[in-house]
Structure 1
Amino acid sequence: MKQFFFFITILCSLQLLGQSNTALFNEANELYNKGKYAEAIDKYRAILDHDVHSSELYFNLANANYKLNNIAPSIYYYEKALQLDPNDEDIKNNLAFAQNMTIDAIDNIPEVGLNKFINNTVRLYHTDIWAYISVVGVICFVMLFLMYHFSYETRKKRTAFVFSLVAISIAVLSLSSAFYRNALNKKDRPAIVFAKESKVKSEPNVRSEESFRLHEGTKLQVIDTIGNWSEIKLADGKTGWISNQDIKMLKP
């Protein structure tokens, strides 16, 4: 009985929390429409403190920061919104406007050839989807193999054999794609520079030689972390070490 009442209490608390977050979101939107962007940001962030995440919340939070010319936070929250809704054109357009405020001009080295084809193909689906396709392929293979084994007609046996090979090939390729997509996800560790100006070092210590400087809003990839330093890589291929205090990760 006590467990039942505890469960009901949790449900009621969650419902009240949801209503509270909705009220906060509406209040924040009203403040934004009135041009009170700093107050709106406080309301949006209060919702985040409740561990509530949505593309709309991040998008509005980014817009409010953009209105105040907060370069790094606006880009950061647009990127967070894009992670949850990667096909939203409004998010992409606003992100492009925010990126125009950054100082660093970094050329993006495009992927080419077979590597580009493989990566684009693997990125079509998430790891779980590739895994499901692989399972379906295995099931189809087993059914077709049994059909081949128990069939007495030559034509049916030949057809079942050919399609069983196709099914097992799809299963193997899908499983490989699942592992490769998982590896890409682990490798993808984006971050945004939040410091006004940050010195990128050749080694993970303050006494090492300065390689170059980065400014707020620049997006980078974190390759490795040692103590209070992160090894980074830019879109143009440059690498170096930056203080962890100067960046904010886009993924947990």
Structure 2
Amino acid sequence: MKKILFLCVLSFSMSVLGQDYSAVFEKATQDYASGNYEAAIAKYEQILDGEQESVALYYNLGNAHYKLDHIAPSIFYYEKALQLSPQNQDVQNNLAFAEQMTIDAIEEASPTGIDKLKANTIGTFGSETWAKMAIAGVFIFVVFFIWYYFSIGTGLKRLLFSVSIIGMLLFIFSFSFAFIQQQDTSQERYGIIFSEEASIKAEPNPKASEAFLLHEGTKVKLLDGFNGFYKLEIGDGRQGWLKQEHVKAL
């Protein structure tokens, strides 16, 4: 696997995790480098128990579980890392390796026209990137509008005004796209199947008929909850009910 540890961002990770946990994080990283994966996991989980998180923490936890062939936990923690950094290429690559160990080969349903449009526009960047572009748009608007306000030449004023309008449009569209992505993310819930084999029921009842089977490591969309069950949906559009104890929500 490429780039087993985030050694290059270790110091940053420690600052994010806080002074109390920096030593624990460093010891866990040393355990991982020595091949003591169980010990590394225990220390990383100690940091999580302290309600601390970072991309590197989740990434290293995923790597340690991957080394021990723990399919579901490795995928779970890679997904948690991607929630904090959706465009992180290292996490995406290692997640792809982990997903190759899963049994379920689910063919994704074809996206609708609206979904395709959103993917090709709003989905081009993550919400954080759109937010940064919105800030850049405000900066461009303010700087060039002030410059326009104090300039004298007619031609220059037209140019500066045009650039300031472009900045304002950049802000409006980028802010809107960031807001839409953030809303979509907050409204959608996903989980990872942790049981070796999970029976998906047609109804939220243990005695209900089985709709289909899922296996460890499969990512599912959580739609609702009732009577100790999750209503879920998989990539091909099939839906069913699963006991909550078999899935861990992201």
TM exceeds 0.5?
yes
Aligned equivalent of 1:226: 226
- C-alpha separation in 1, matches of 2:59 and 2:173: 37
Residue 48 of structure 2 is aligned to residue 48 of structure 1: yes
Q: Secondary structure at the match of 1:25?
A: helix
1:48 and 1:111, CA in 2 relative to 1: closer, same or farther beyond 3 A?
Answer: same
Separation in structure 2 between the aligned mates of residue 89 and residue 164 of structure 1, nearest angstrom: 34
In the TM superposition, residue 130 of structure 1 has moved relative to its aligned partner by 9.8
| Higher alpha-carbon deviation: 80-89 or 238-247 | 80-89
**Hey, what does 1:81 align to over in structure 2?**
81
Give 1:129 shift: 3.1
Q: Provide closer, same or farther for how the CA distance between residues 19 and 129 of structure 1 changes in structure 2, counting only shifts above 3 A.
A: closer
Q: Are residues 199 and 118 of structure 1, via their aligned partners in 2, closer, same or farther at CA, if it must alter by over 3 Å?
A: same
Residues 48 and 165 of structure 1: is their aligned pair in 2 closer, same or farther, counting only changes over 3 Å? closer
- State the match for 1:191 in structure 2: 191
Partner of 2:36: 36
| SS at 2:18 equivalent | helix
Gaps of 5+ in 2: 1-14
Residues 127 and 177 in structure 2, CA contact (< 8 A), matched pair in contact too: no
Superposed displacement of residue 176, structure 1: 5.9
Q: Structure 2 counterpart of 1:129, which letter? A: A
- Do the aligned partners of 2:87 and 2:126 also contact (CA within 8 Å) in 1? no
- Alpha-carbon distance in 2 for matches of 1:105, 1:249: 21
* 1:122 maps to amino acid: I
Q: Which range moved further: 32-41 or 118-127? A: 118-127
The equivalent residue for 1:238 is: 238
- The CA deviation at 1:113 is 3.5
Identity %: 41
Does the CA contact (< 8 Å) of 1:62 and 1:73 recur in 2?
A: yes
Q: Deviations over 1:35-69 (max 9, x none)?
A: 11111100111111111111111111111111111
Q: Give the TM-score of the pair, scaled to structure 2.
A: 0.73
How do residues 81-230 of structure 1 correspond to structure 2 at under 5 angstroms? 81-111=81-111, 113-123=113-123, 124=125, 126=127, 129=131, 177=177, 180-230=180-230
Structure 2 CA distance for partners of 1:82 and 1:112, relative to 1, 3 Å: same
Paired AA for residue 131 in structure 2: I
Aligned-pair distance for 1:233?
0.6
Q: Deviations over 1:162-205 (max 9, x none)?
A: 99999998887667646643441233211100111111001111
Partner of 2:12: none
Q: Kindly report structure 1 stretches of 4+ aligned residues shifted beyond 4 Å.
A: 130-133, 162-179
Structure 1: any 5+ residue segments left out of the alignment? 1-14, 148-152, 154-158
- Check whether the contact 2:62–2:73 (CA below 8 A) recurs between aligned residues: yes
Q: Give the counterpart letter for 1:236 in structure 2.
A: D
Structure 2 CA distance for aligned equivalents of residues 26 and 104 of structure 1: 36
Which one-letter code corresponds to 2:245 in the other structure? Q
Q: Which moved more, 1:171-180 or 1:219-228?
A: 171-180
The answer to whether the 8 A contact 1:131-1:178 is kept is: no
Structural mapping, 1:16-27, within 5 Å? 18-27=18-27
Work out the number of aligned pairs and report it. Answer: 226
Q: CA RMSD in A?
A: 3.5
Report if the CA contact (8 A) 2:134-2:170 is conserved.
Answer: no
